[in-house]
Structure 1
Amino acid sequence: MKFHLIGVGGAGMNVVARLLTAEGHTVSGSDREESVVLEQLRELGVATSVGHNALNVPSDAVVVRSSAIKPDNPEMIIAVERGQEIWHRSQALAYAAGDRDFIAVAGAHGKTSTSAMIAVALGELGADPSRAIGGHLAGAQPGGYLGIGSAMVAEADESDGSFLNYSPRIAVVTNVEPDHLDHYGSTEKFQQAFVDFANKIVPGGLLICCTDDPGARWLADIAREAGRRVATYGTRPYPGDHTLVIFDTNYRGKTQIGAQRASQTVNFVLPVPGEHMGLNAVGAWLACCDLGYEPQACGHALESFRGTGRRFEVRGEVDGIRVIDDYAHHPTEVEATLHTARSITSERVHVIFQPHLYSRTKNFASAFAQALDLADDVIVTSVYAAREVPTDGVEGDAIVELSSKASYEPDMSVAARLIAQRAKPGDVILTMGAGNITRMAAVIIDELNS
């Protein structure tokens, strides 16, 4: 088949392009600006164009879009005029998965790390799984990969409801914490989407939920009442098929994990810090066990995980000052990331935070302020709009007004230089957010070097 992907350079879209190309399909795509990702796709044989233009779209291709692509995009307009088949990105991913055992990871946060852990562990176990992960793995391994094994591991994006296009063999839900209310309109509709997602699991399949999260605990109870097979994990006891997670916090820079399930205890050490990462690892461990692998072997396989891009990723160190980049863009993620930063230094923690979406900034301004106050020094920049248009009266200073630590600097380049000038040996500097704040890690390192 022939496919044309609009926005092919995006985190999720480029993964689909890689998979379709690896399966032998003819793939083209466009994006609004040049990037390293486009260069990589060209090397794989994907015909990429910079800028959106009707002339980019082959008349005989299935057109693939993400929710970020609006109806007035010229490539969408021509596809509609021609009556071409138009798929959402999730439909193209489901097509690429074929009849593989689909392992889907959902939740407002933790998807990338957990799905990457499953993929790495299965690889270590010799399964050679395919993967569709919205971030690169350690060693610059791409998130999109076509393996020869029977499993496909993928992030299941709840932001626009597209995770309902999947029928997983195993579904891991890290949390059901209200987010993306710009799409759903209410917390109740957001929660119902997860119930619908659980109902998409194939007969005999397994739902895995983290009971430390009230929403995921609620989902597990509903699924059990409906007669579904459910396994849970968390740091507190819980009825049913439950794995109790115990952490040893004495491992600086690593996470020692004890997973107690029924009468068996499995211990392993995750080479990345953070109890939230440890919880993700146990969700991944349960998924691997359910595929038939021996539990202790699954634990040892997870010890090969070295992290993913933009998930507490160390970008450099200058004079004892570590610069770390993180994708955290929800208050719970920000809090977890700052707790992790605290665990690796006894000195000061500095943060540049770029809010992501006007709607999220408005809905969670107070929660963001509370989470960011866990740092010693915070600069909030202007909002990264992504798919939204500017909202009157909503900017990064809405968070600052509610914070005791933060100041507002709309220009992130200025903020990067300011934060670097304040740091001292032993400190940690974090760039945080789901937008282009990641570019500021290099600016900070340059400033520290100067």
Structure 2
Amino acid sequence: KIAVITNIDEDHLDHFRNIEEIRELFRRYIVSLPDDGLVVACGDCPTLGSLVREVGRRCITYGLQDGNRVRAEDIVLFEFGSKFRVTLNGQDICQITLNVPGVHNIYNALAALSVANHLQLPLERVSAILANFCGAQRRFELKGKANGIMVVDDYAHHPTEIRATLAAARTGAFKRVVSVFQPHRYSRTKKLANSFGQSFGDSDLTIITDVYGAGEDPVPGVSGKTILDSLLSFSPRAQVAYLPRTRTIVDYLLESVEDGDLILTMGAGDIWTVAEEIITISTSSRFWA
């Protein structure tokens, strides 16, 4: 009876033609809820916010902006975490400390708190559970550290996710954020090329691999270089490299990274193997001795 919707974005374009078709699917989903159902929705997402107002079902909105029933205020971001106070209709209801990084995790916590409060669960207990949550596999997952280099892997494969993950990385005191992105699906790469090109502003050095097809046939003229070209069209001075082969990426990183850098691998394919190989090699006597 409770539907939590975090956002509506242009994704899964191998199944949907455009954002309007995606929005219509969510509209039908909300309408299908029972009369006593509840929608818990991120009010900061313009597409979602307009939809819940249009449908008119019982709804609790959460977010950072004015107008949401549940809000996070006085946010303090730190490496691998945050703290903030939560208000309901302008009144303080609890203080939260998270041990997962990024503003996107604050949004996730607000969604969980909105449901918990509606169900009249003790918020002191909910706050303690959130504080003890250390993240999910492949979501800003720390793979290891070696000689001052930190290696993190994330499942981010959509422009919105990439921006959120890089913003989270920026909360750390790293000398540089070195990102390695493996595009996922030719259809997504082609249709969202412009958005991808504008997603790496928080990356000091960006490496783009070839596309992980995920069962799709290659599309002529579409490759990892499609995203690299888009990135350079928006940021001509960006430090970028197109390295299609995994082995080349590992060698490049081992020669390029410095003490204090963060290596961040991103993608829904097998790019996580690069992160693991870097840790395996870097802890041997061959490199960074």
Query: TM-score w.r.t. structure 2 length?
Result: 0.91
> In structure 2, what is the Cα distance between the partners aligned to 1:325 and 1:209?
28
1:220 pairs with 2:49: no
- Alpha-carbon distance, 1:186 to partner: 2.2
1:419 pairs with 2:253: yes
> In structure 2, what is the Cα distance between the partners aligned to 1:211 and 1:446?
43
Cα displacement string for residues 126-183 of structure 1 (whole angstroms, at most 9, x for unaligned residues): xxxxxxxxxxxxxxxxxxxxxxxxxxxxxxxxxxxxxxxxxxx211111111112221
> In structure 2, what is the Cα distance between the partners aligned to 1:393 and 1:258?
49
- Alpha-carbon distance, 1:211 to partner: 1.4
- Alpha-carbon distance, 1:306 to partner: 0.8
> In structure 2, what is the Cα distance between the partners aligned to 1:420 and 1:238?
48
Q: Call closer, same or farther: CA 1:372–1:244 in 2, change over 3 Å.
A: same
- Alpha-carbon distance, 1:373 to partner: 3.5
Q: Is the 8 A contact 2:174 2:262 kept in 1?
A: no
Letter in 2 for 1:248: I
The match for 1:249 is 76
- Alpha-carbon distance, 1:215 to partner: 1.5
> In structure 1, what is the Cα distance between the partners aligned to 2:280 and 2:61?
45
- Alpha-carbon distance, 1:437 to partner: 0.7
- Alpha-carbon distance, 1:442 to partner: 1.4
> In structure 1, what is the Cα distance between the partners aligned to 2:194 and 2:244?
19
The match for 1:330 is 158
Q: Is the 8 A contact 1:314 1:324 kept in 2?
A: yes
1:429 pairs with 2:263: yes
The match for 2:199 is 371
Cα displacement string for residues 59-92 of structure 1 (whole angstroms, at most 9, x for unaligned residues): xxxxxxxxxxxxxxxxxxxxxxxxxxxxxxxxxx
Letter in 2 for 1:267: Q
> In structure 1, what is the Cα distance between the partners aligned to 2:110 and 2:220?
43
SS in 1 for 2:133: coil
Letter in 1 for 2:254: A
- Alpha-carbon distance, 1:304 to partner: 1.7
Of the three residues 264, 270, 274, the one matched with 2:102 is 274
Trace 1:50-449 onto structure 2 (pairs within 5 A): 169-224=1-56, 228-238=57-67, 242-262=69-89, 263-403=91-231, 404-449=238-283
SS in 1 for 2:188: helix
Q: Call closer, same or farther: CA 1:366–1:420 in 2, change over 3 Å.
A: farther
> In structure 1, what is the Cα distance between the partners aligned to 2:120 and 2:71?
20
Cα displacement string for residues 292-339 of structure 1 (whole angstroms, at most 9, x for unaligned residues): 312333223211211000000000000111000000001111011111
Determine which structure has more spread, i.e. the larger CA radius of gyration.
1
The match for 1:151 is none
- Alpha-carbon distance, 1:247 to partner: 4.5
SS in 1 for 2:3: strand
Letter in 2 for 1:361: T
Cα displacement string for residues 203-253 of structure 1 (whole angstroms, at most 9, x for unaligned residues): 3121111112111212221232xxx210001111116xx112125325432
Query: TM-score w.r.t. structure 1 length?
Result: 0.59
> In structure 1, what is the Cα distance between the partners aligned to 2:254 and 2:2?
44
Q: Call closer, same or farther: CA 1:250–1:353 in 2, change over 3 Å.
A: closer
CA RMSD of aligned residues (A): 1.6
Gaps of 5+ in 2: 232-237
Gaps of 5+ in 1: 1-168
> In structure 2, what is the Cα distance between the partners aligned to 1:281 and 1:223?
25
